[in-house]
Amino acid sequence: MEIFMRLAILISALCQLMSFNALQAQETLPPLRDGQTPQNFAEMWSGFDPRAEPLETELLHEWEEEGVVLRVVRFRIGIFKGQKAHLAAVYGFPKGGRNLPGLLQIHGGGQYADYKACLLNAKRGYATLSIAWAGRISAPDYRVNSDIVKLFWENKTDDPNYKLTTDWGAVDGYHAPSRNPGNVFPSAKAASWTLDAVESPRNSGWFLCAVAARRGLTFLEQQAEVDPDRLGVYGHSMGGKLTVMTAPDPRVKAAAPSCGGISDRTNQSSLFQSTIGDDVSLKEISVPIIFLSPANDFHGRIRDLPSAVEEIQSDDWRVTCSPHHNHQDTPPYEVATLLWFDQHLKKTFKFPHTPRSRLNLQTPDGIPSLTVQSDSSQPIVSVDAFYTQHGKPQDEPAEHENTMHRFWHHVKMKPSKEGWTAELPVSNTDSPLWVYANVRYSLEAPVTGAGYYYREYTANTFNISSLLKKIEADELIAANVQATKKPSALIESYVGDWEKEWFTYRPDEWARTTHKLYDATYQAPANASLSLEIFADEANELVILVDDHAAVVELSGQKKWQTVNLSPNDFKNFSEEPLLNWNDIKRLTLSPTERLRPKRGDARASRIIGNKWTGADPRFRNLRWVRSSAESR
């Protein structure tokens, strides 16, 4: 009996060894040759065939909603270091649909694969796969947050919250958090959890997730309801970069990166720059592509858009750039993704051409002027110029504050013989001048979709931007440009198009924010107070936020104008510390409520100040700096 038991153990061990050796033989990516790491795009992707391996798809959850079939699925990414890796995702399509265009949606850092993108896209005639490269999933009755991802790592199958999700096996493509605490997601350096034992682009989480995304394309093209010749890819933030890394796949027919694909140009690793850097993938893209690039985004830098457009191999491109926004957008900009796919995958929409702009520096009065020629094939709502002197020659990581808070002056463009024109008065000739134009078009019918963070939106208009023009200071001086824009004590009159120099991410609500105070034109004089007139129907609290300091103003209501004058000491931060002065302030917000947060490292919970607004929306006028009586004499 003992002999048979030993024989059984031996046979089992041999079977495991054979299975292990078989898996090694089936490695998804070929081993390095003589330890030499890939040095460019072609070498990095050499030997990878996203169609070669079976998907081995698992159905984890399924339901129907509003005529849409929705599924949580999991399928094989590949075999790395002898272990299988599996990708979880949400997949949705209109019930009974056939020959549908397919969309691959890639979430950003800290986000989830989300069913709402699949649901709302399906209602517009698309099949969508939202991939959970970080393991997180948002779906009815199948929610996987970071805590549940950890349960999965720890194999706590007895926990009632345990759910199957993305399994990277021997490597680590997770993010926020990574499975291995020492894993710096973009890094190409070698570690116990990386594919290669030396610094290699194949060690980077970017590469691993791009491999997973290409396997997602394989999943889509194998679905009975999907037309494999009509696939598109889009994503936000980290998903925007992964969109750019996935778009070179020949199966992709259109791409729409949001807040991504125009970053990673300053990495200190030369190997990273030559393989993982955005420009490397951009140079391989030949399909129609639209860049959604908010003008103040910290991750997808608008300053790099002209370079990105030069780098791609496609002549069919557009850009849409919301002024003042950082890493979020509103419907007229977000909707560009859906319209782009409508044009290139469904042939049901036609984008107007990119506005062509010409900047004239040599004018009789020394004031630069911008001329824009716009496509009038669809009804134009407005044409607006936005310009700033806060641009930097290089947007290094240390320049994040400037990037996020730079102020864009607005000028409404007027029709002219050449198209649309506007003067751009500057406050100095020591700083660069950056300028672009937005052309807003009306839609024949409203379009509804899932936004950057999956909030449902409906757009009635859409925006196309001209490509950013960047003029250095020495060019302004050489052209004899004059500094004609003078300092102004009046910050905002609240008449005309004033909202074009303010912004919000919730346009249906009245709260607004501006970066005007960051601009030299509107900086506070010495010993000034901030003054504002407010009209409120009912008694309310108005919150005025300056950076991270807030003042709560009690309004009497009574349907009359009320003037408030505030000094820096009236503004307190989370810890009740007053604002010392107006120096270096960047942002001002007017709203009914705000959340004050402790400084980094402070474990105390944030708190909300202000209250829900009652009555009609407030009105404002004469936001200005007022000097003390002693100063004014």
State residue 25's pLDDT score: 54
Q: Kindly indicate the confidence band of residue 395, based on its pLDDT and cuts at 50, 70 and 90.
A: low
Mean pLDDT of the chain: 94
103, 341 Cβ separation under 8 angstroms:
yes
**179-215 as b/e, with b when 16 or more CB fall inside 10 Å?**
beeebebbbbeeeebbbbeebbbbbbbbbbbbbbbbb
pLDDT at 20 over 70: no
Report percent pLDDT > 90 for the chain.
89
Q: List, in sequence order, every beta strand (DSSP E) within 95-126.
A: 100-106, 113-114
Q: Kindly indicate the confidence band of residue 13, based on its pLDDT and cuts at 50, 70 and 90.
A: very low
The model's pTM: 0.94
State residue 397's pLDDT score: 58
What is the set of domains in the chain, with CATH numbers? 37-276 (3.40.50.1820), 487-633 (2.60.120)
pLDDT at 21 over 50: no
For 315-349, the pLDDT digits (tens) are 999 999 999 999 999 999 999 999 999 999 999 99
State residue 265's pLDDT score: 81
For 144-155, the pLDDT digits (tens) are 999 999 999 999
**CA 501/CA 409 separation, integer angstroms:** 6
What is the average pLDDT across 208-225?
A: 98
What is the average pLDDT across 254-280?
A: 91
Place of tokens 């000028």: 411
**CA 573/CA 563 separation, integer angstroms:** 23
Residue 314 vs residues 110, 118, 255, 464: alpha-carbon distances, Å: 31, 28, 11, 18
pLDDT at 630 over 50: no
**224-246 as b/e, with b when 16 or more CB fall inside 10 Å?**
ebbbeebbbbbbbbbbbbbbbbb
State residue 394's pLDDT score: 67
pLDDT at 294 over 50: yes
What is the average pLDDT across 276-290?
A: 97
State residue 77's pLDDT score: 98
Q: Kindly indicate the confidence band of residue 185, based on its pLDDT and cuts at 50, 70 and 90.
A: confident
pLDDT at 16 over 50: no
361, 471 Cβ separation under 8 angstroms:
yes
State residue 11's pLDDT score: 47
State residue 1's pLDDT score: 43
pLDDT at 633 over 80: no
Nearest to 135 by CA among 195, 176, 79, 171: 176
What is the average pLDDT across 137-165?
A: 98
- By the 10 Å C-beta count (0-12 exposed, 13-18 middle, 19+ buried), 605 is classed as exposed
State residue 14's pLDDT score: 46
State residue 256's pLDDT score: 98
- Specify the 3-state DSSP secondary structure of 95: coil
- Specify the 3-state DSSP secondary structure of 439: strand
State residue 268's pLDDT score: 81
**CA 581/CA 250 separation, integer angstroms:** 57
Instruction: Decide which of 538 and 396 is more confident.
Output: 538
For 53-90, the pLDDT digits (tens) are 999 999 999 999 999 999 999 999 999 999 999 999 99
For 189-198, the pLDDT digits (tens) are 999 999 999 9
For 445-483, the pLDDT digits (tens) are 999 999 989 999 999 999 999 999 999 999 999 999 999
For 482-536, the pLDDT digits (tens) are 999 999 999 999 999 999 999 999 999 999 999 999 999 999 998 999 999 999 9
Q: What is the helix (H) or strand (E) element at residue 193, kind and residue range?
A: none
Q: Quick one: tokens of 58?
A: 């698992």
pLDDT at 419 over 60: yes
State residue 401's pLDDT score: 86
Q: Kindly indicate the confidence band of residue 396, based on its pLDDT and cuts at 50, 70 and 90.
A: low
Q: Kindly indicate the confidence band of residue 8, based on its pLDDT and cuts at 50, 70 and 90.
A: very low
- Specify the 3-state DSSP secondary structure of 238: helix
Length of the chain: 633
State residue 111's pLDDT score: 97
For 373-392, the pLDDT digits (tens) are 999 999 999 999 999 999 98
63, 70 Cβ separation under 8 angstroms:
yes
**CA 450/CA 117 separation, integer angstroms:** 5
pLDDT at 631 over 60: no
339, 352 Cβ separation under 8 angstroms:
no
pLDDT at 12 over 60: no
Nearest to 146 by CA among 155, 160, 134: 134
